[in-house]
Amino acid sequence: MAVVLARIDDRLIHGQVMTSWVNFTGANKIIVIDDVTAKDSFLCMTIKSLVPSNIRAEVYTREQSVEAFLSQKESDKIIVLAKTPEPYVYLQEHGVSFDHINIGGMGIKKGRKTIYKNISASDEELTMLKTLADNGARVYIQMVAENPRMELDKII
């Protein structure tokens, strides 16, 4: 199994993921980690209907995601999507590590402050991002594959 993109984006699947990142990475699977989405059959169906027919989409709760990662095929090229950094911290704590974590869309909402252009994070989310980096993940902002990467440690 190869994780070709681990992305934090509160919109999960949308145009940028489907056009830019799928083409750039050559992914054949998308794994969404989000408790609310995973527990709602309509949202799961919607997520799965948004991906091209040659790409499999799977939706897991945070807890289910640990086992899901352990059972992936070697041929899988996976894009992982989560709304916040929390599922990635949980996975790290349970033995699943990521070399790179892309911040693509963390919108402005109550309790968050702007950290770079249209990217915002709460103090708790910033702590989680730093934890991910301290545990070996390269954390960066990059909206689409064609844009340059902006390393998180240079911003905060």
Q: What percent of the chain has pLDDT over 90?
A: 79
For the chain, what is the domain count? 1
**Domain range for 129:** 2-155
Q: Report the distance separating Cα 22 and Cα 140, nearest Å.
A: 18
What CATH number is associated with residue 27?
3.40.35.10
pLDDT at 119: 93
The stretch 60-77 carries a mean pLDDT of 92
Average pLDDT over residues 75-83: 96
Average pLDDT, the chain: 93
Label residue 136 left, alpha or beta by phi (over 0 means left) and psi (-120 to 50 means alpha). Answer: left
Query: pTM above the 0.75 mark?
Result: yes
97-110 pLDDT, tens digit per residue, is 999 999 998 999 99
CA–CA dist 72, 92 (Å, integer):
17
- Cβ neighbours of residue 127 under 8 Å, at least 6 residues apart? none
Give Cβ neighbours of residue 69 (< 8 Å, ≥ 6 apart).
1, 31, 91, 96
Cα-Cα-Cα-Cα dihedral of 73, 75, 81, 86, to 10°? 50
What digits encode the pLDDT tens for the residues 18-34?
788 999 999 999 999 99
